[in-house]
Amino acid sequence: METKIYQVEDLNADMLDKADVYGDAAARQAVDAARAAVGRAAGILRGGGLVAFPTETVYGLGADAFNEAAVRKVYAAKGRPQDNPMIVHIARASDVGALTSALSPDMVKLIECFWPGSLTLIVKKRADVPAAVTGGLDTVAVRMPDDPVAAELIRQAGTPVAAPSANLSGKPSPTKAAHVIRDLGGRIDVILAGGECRVGIESTVLDLSGETPVILRPGAVTADQIADILGKEVETDPALLRRDVPDGLTGADAAAAPKAPGMKYRHYAPNAEMLVLEGRRDRVKNEILRLKALNEKLGRRVGTMLFEEKSFTEAAHGFFSELRDLDDAGTDLILAGALSENDGLGFAVMNRMMKAAGYNIIKV
Ligand code: TXA
Ligand code: MG
């Protein structure tokens, strides 16, 4: 299949400002051209095609959420297990009514506070939301992304857009158009090539379908922020707190398996072996250097990943991209320094780091 690549980088907040607020003619033209390209992609979505698009978290691979055949093609293009439900993306908060009829006061508060943004809400689904989207569950995941391209695409498509991350199953989530082109070029209809994703890790997934809200996947919107807005306790899926859970659990261990179906698969796997070192900062640094030298003597290519202390925003922004770069460089072994978990975003990046390393963690 030939994949069309449309450059839409000009449809961003800065250019929109220049065009709409300052009346800059060149910006106006660039924005309009990008909008027209997004419009062509929206037509393809409406016709049952697959379109990859940027969001502020990671790139998504979208299909019309109400077209079962289109949704099934997403699984095929990604090589993704069929029971793994997708997030449905909307462009206006009021469109949430097409997906759920159970709008709780908690949901309304969270929508007002965090949408558009990196918070996905799991709620009871309406009967007509296809089972292919929800993996047969009676709940649906909904999010309104904070990105002008994503918003324009969904708005022009005129339908909610079901979209997992736009990577091949098992690969790191894509945060640049080049990542999507590499993974899905030739497998889907259109790639909307925007800029780099601002956040860099996937949205927080919050289950609102039970009594107590539960974080199923940590992200940029943290449990504390959510608890503040709701004025009540927010739980974290206990599976996220464990340090020793290999993906693909069976038997008795399945009881501790993550509740978001997607969290149980081996994710973000770099080709390289990966080891996370945890402990006092100076010790971690020294141990990384020692192990690097040792392994290089043995002829192995070693990459290191050591984010600045406390700059969790940068860690989130660069994490998946660095994993891909290390793989491209033919790295055999990745030595990564753990992030302290106190901050919500640090915790979210650590969740991805542990998965990438297959829970291969040592204390130093
Ligand atoms: O930031 C994001 O969330 C990105 C962008 C494209 O929006 N999307 C994304 O989708 O990361 P995906 O498919 O890679 O991850 C969705 C996660 C999976 O872990 C999935 O199991 C969980 O959300 N999920 C979806 N629907 C669910 C449901 N009804 N109940 C529980 N978990 C659900
Ligand atoms: Mg994914």
DSSP of 94-118, one letter per residue?
GGGGGT-S---HHHHHHHHHH-SSS
Q: Is 235 within the bounds of a domain?
A: yes
CA 348–ligand 2 middle distance (angstroms): 14
Q: Is 266 within the bounds of a domain?
A: no
Nearest CA to ligand 1 atom 33: 260
Mean pLDDT over 202-223 rounds to: 96
Indicate whether 91 and 234 sit together in one domain.
Answer: yes
284 lines ligand 1 (CB under 6 A): no
Which of 286, 326, 285 minimizes the C-alpha distance to 309?
A: 285
260 lines ligand 1 (CB under 6 A): yes
Total domains in the fold of the chain: 2
Give the pLDDT confidence score for residue 270 in this predicted structure: 86
Q: Is 108 within the bounds of a domain?
A: yes
258 lines ligand 1 (CB under 6 A): no
- Tokens coding 157: 């498509």
CA 218–ligand 2 middle distance (angstroms): 13
- CA of 168, nearest ligand number: 2
Mean pLDDT over 80-90 rounds to: 89
Task: Give 11's contacts (C-beta < 8 A, 6+ positions apart).
Answer: 31, 34, 35, 38, 148, 149, 152, 194
Q: How many CB atoms lie within 10 A of CB 340?
A: 13
- Region of poorest pLDDT, from 12-16, 145-149, 160-164, 344-348: 344-348
Last residue of a domain, one of 224, 255, 286: 255
Domain coverage including residue 32: 4-255
Greater model confidence, 263 or 10 = 10
Give 250's pLDDT tier (boundaries 50, 70, 90). very low
Indicate whether 251 and 284 sit together in one domain.
Answer: no
Give the pLDDT confidence score for residue 244 in this predicted structure: 65
122 lines ligand 1 (CB under 6 A): yes
Give the pLDDT confidence score for residue 253 in this predicted structure: 46
Preceding omega of 116 cis (within 30 degrees of 0): yes
Give the pLDDT confidence score for residue 229 in this predicted structure: 97
* CA distance readout (Å), 361 to 186, 265, 338: 37, 18, 9
Atom of ligand 1 nearest to the CA of 84: 21
Last residue of a domain, one of 255, 286, 301: 255
Give the pLDDT confidence score for residue 115 in this predicted structure: 98
348 lines ligand 1 (CB under 6 A): no
Greater model confidence, 260 or 8 = 8
CA 87–ligand 1 middle distance (angstroms): 5
Indicate whether 72 and 169 sit together in one domain.
Answer: yes
Provide φ and ψ at 191, rounded to 5°.
-120, 120
Give the pLDDT confidence score for residue 311 in this predicted structure: 85
pLDDT in tens, 276-311: 999 999 999 999 999 999 999 999 999 999 988 768
Which of 249, 259, 208, 248 minimizes the C-alpha distance to 230?
A: 208
Give the pLDDT confidence score for residue 249 in this predicted structure: 47
164 lines ligand 1 (CB under 6 A): yes
CA 120–ligand 1 middle distance (angstroms): 8
How much of the chain exceeds pLDDT 90, in percent? 83
Atom of ligand 1 nearest to the CA of 118: 1
Atom of ligand 1 nearest to the CA of 139: 29
Give the pLDDT confidence score for residue 265 in this predicted structure: 53
205 lines ligand 1 (CB under 6 A): yes
165 lines ligand 1 (CB under 6 A): yes
Q: Is the pTM of this model over 0.75?
A: yes
**Gap between the Cα atoms of 161 and 180, Å rounded:** 18
- How many residues can be counted in the chain? 364
Q: Is 199 within the bounds of a domain?
A: yes
Nearest CA to ligand 1 atom 32: 260
Give the pLDDT confidence score for residue 252 in this predicted structure: 40
Give the end-to-end CA distance of the chain in Å, rounded to a whole number.
50
Mean pLDDT over 127-154 rounds to: 97
Mean pLDDT over 135-142 rounds to: 96
